[in-house]
Amino acid sequence: MSESGLGGDQEMVRFDLNGSPVEIRVFIDEPLSQVLRRLGESTVRESCAVGLCGCCTALVDGKSVSTCLYWAAMADGTRIETLSGLTSDERVTALQGSIAKHGAAQCGYCTPGMVMTALELFDAGEQSTKEIEAHMNGNLCRCACYPEMRCAIKDALATANKSLET
């Protein structure tokens, strides 16, 4: 159901955002990151706008997505999760605690995207440092906290894996 408006063609999309249904009119060429920001999602940060930095990462149907490259019109019928919607998620709590413990965040701008990307690793179990590094490759940190972030993620995964064993 498309309409033409002053800004170009628009389309009504419906998706689940952090457990709540959303119905919003979007431009057909509007990135999901901009729509999420319009909806008040401050943890989705658009930095590079070309999919290189990972700051705008959200989970779309459980997979990490650079929302600056994902057209909002494609989100119709999906389940979208942002960091602000996962505050009580045990995985997020474990990651945040480990990030603090390892001093893996300085300015914190990249941290929401890092956490959202790292969430996918919890389903795979404990990972090697090389596997974590490869998975997190699309996330940039201007403060260069990469070694600390890898340690924090590895530690959180190990802790989660041990709690599953007991």
The β-bridge relationship of strands 8-17 and 79-81 is parallel
Q: What separation in angstroms does the CA of 92 have from each of 20, 37, 76, 112, 113?
A: 19, 21, 26, 10, 12
Q: What domains does the chain contain, in order, with CATH numbers? A: 2-82 (3.10.20.30), 88-165 (1.10.150.120)
The CA distance from 127 to 69, in Å, is 28
pLDDT of residue 104: 92
Side-chain-side CA neighbours of residue 70 (13 Å): 24
Provide the residue-wise pLDDT of the chain in tens; the chain has 166 residues. 444 444 679 999 999 999 999 999 999 999 999 999 999 999 999 889 998 999 999 999 999 999 999 999 999 999 999 999 998 899 999 999 999 999 998 888 999 999 999 999 988 877 899 999 999 999 999 889 999 999 999 999 998 877 666 5
Contacts of 37 (CB under 8 A, 6+ apart): 44, 46
